[in-house]
Structure 1
Amino acid sequence: MQEPYDSHRAEAADGAARVLVVDDDPTVAEVVTGYLHRAGYVVDRADDGPTALTRAAAHRPDLVVLDLMLPGMDGLEVCRRMRDRGPVPVIMLTARGDEDDRILGLEVGADDYVTKPFSPRELVLRVESVLRRSRPAAPGPRLAAAGLRVDVEGRRATKEGVELALTLREFDLLAFFMRHPGRAFAREDLMREVWGWDFGDLSTVTVHVRRLRGKVEDDPARPRLIQTVWGVGYRFEPTGAVD
């Protein structure tokens, strides 16, 4: 049964990050909500896509925990529609072993995913990690190379003066590459440095590199800026020179 929306509770925790939990399984939603509350977050709940979009429009969340399999409107469509309204970090909940679904979730812009069954404590740690990376960084020099400009503090990136619509992880990945031009990184290195994970599904990195190439390369099929280093990983080459 859908938990009644408590606006007084939501407004009482002024300053706390707001998390929207979207899952049609009341047991999962209740457990996740309880753990997030105890971690100090303001939590809204929805058990279907339309309700989630309504709640997000009424009180924009700082992060969404979104089940992929929802009745009527699946999590992919909910993610797309939320992103159409503006950037918001999303953690997808997916069934274990459904790699294609996880890839689809990352393709539509999910910043992270957790497979069911999962540890609620792990989910809280993932929420903390994503929110920490979504906050403005300490002031620092702006990055510029090959027509790209990245304002780390303002979390804005442009290509030839046109702003790029980057997700949280895409932005972090681009900024990391631009901080280390000419250096090759393994996918494990990128997962540790950009995602903050010591282990995980390396296809997450692959998908994000592909998405980022689609936004910064003139010809994503023949990338010149984010190059594949065979047997190693990827390298940002600001000159666009191909070996």
Structure 2
Amino acid sequence: MDTSAPDVMGRILVVDDDPSMREMIRDFLGDYDFDVSTATNGAEIPEILAREHIDLLVLDLRLPGEDGIQIARRLREQSDLAIIVITGRREEADRVMALELGADDYLVKPFSPRELLARIRALLRRSRARVAEPPRRDTDIRAYRFAGWELNIGLRRLTAPDGSTVALSNGEFNLLVAFLGAPERVLTRARLLELSRLHDDEVYDRSIDVQVGRLRRKLDASGSGPPLIRTERGAGYSFTARVDVTR
């Protein structure tokens, strides 16, 4: 893989309590024209995010105090910041948990700096493509309403039946739009990847299941009715509610 062309650049925040790891990542990414800030623990993150525009977070899972999984959960509730976790934990359950709680990708230590660079570039390209992509066929749709919920497309705001606002990551928003555009129809994982533009390479082959699980938990948290997303065994998923469109 050619990693020499600086086709995607941005500001990266690296959070790791190992000074040699922080220095290695900072120096390597700096050689490819990334601006890199560093922190040793989660307590330093809010100040850095308030002071700087950060495009992507590289987060070690094993940190003193608040660990990386807790940090990923908290950040995902507040923003759609791109997150790559790095971990020495080889157990699949730990990596699955990190992804379910908000991380976009992961790398297991020891890893090649070039692989980290490739993952960062790919994730930033996807994030920026969502912002810069040309208008879709449904640009005249202002909002979707279903089972007492409303998704405002322009504001990217999901309102629950009780009037509260439910935060969605970019991936969750795109996935919900995909479901709302095809209610009461079975959508395969491949079709959901295509419609929602989620992570569709071989880095993590359960990305759709993770994203659906996160979205389902948010929709079911109000307890206002039956589950809105149904698993169709061996086929994919379907959205069970009637959907009304506001133009």
Amino acid at match of 2:39: A
Q: 1:70 aligns with which of 63, 67, 71?
A: 63
Report the TM-score when normalising by structure 1: 0.74
Counterpart for residue 6 of structure 2: none
Q: Which runs of 5+ in 1 are unaligned?
A: 1-15
Shift in Å, 1:64 = 1.4
Indicate conservation of the 8 Å contact 2:12/2:56, yes or no: yes
Indicate conservation of the 8 Å contact 1:111/1:130, yes or no: no
Task: After TM superposition, list the pairs within 5 Å mapping 1:92-171 onto structure 2.
Answer: 92-95=85-88, 97-116=90-109, 117-118=111-112, 119-132=115-128, 135=131, 138=134, 140=139, 141-146=141-146, 147-160=148-161, 161-171=163-173
Identity level (%) = 34
Distance 1:183 1:27, change over 3 A: farther
**Superposition RMSD in Å:** 3.2
Shift in Å, 1:158 = 2.3
Q: Which runs of 5+ in 2 are unaligned?
A: 1-8
Determine the C-alpha separation between the residues in 1 that align with 2:187 and 2:28. 36
Residue deviations 1:23-77, cap 9 Å, x none?
Answer: 2334443443345445544321112222334323332523212111123331123
Report the TM-score when normalising by structure 2: 0.73
Q: Does 1:204 align with 2:207?
A: yes
Residue deviations 1:125-169, cap 9 Å, x none?
Answer: 333145326637655233414144334443322234532111222
Number of residues paired by the alignment? 224
Task: After TM superposition, list the pairs within 5 Å mapping 1:1-243 onto structure 2.
Answer: 17-83=10-76, 86-95=79-88, 97-116=90-109, 117-118=111-112, 119-132=115-128, 135=131, 138=134, 140=139, 141-146=141-146, 147-160=148-161, 161-191=163-193, 193=195, 194-217=197-220, 219=223, 222-223=226-227, 225-239=228-242
Amino acid at match of 1:238: A
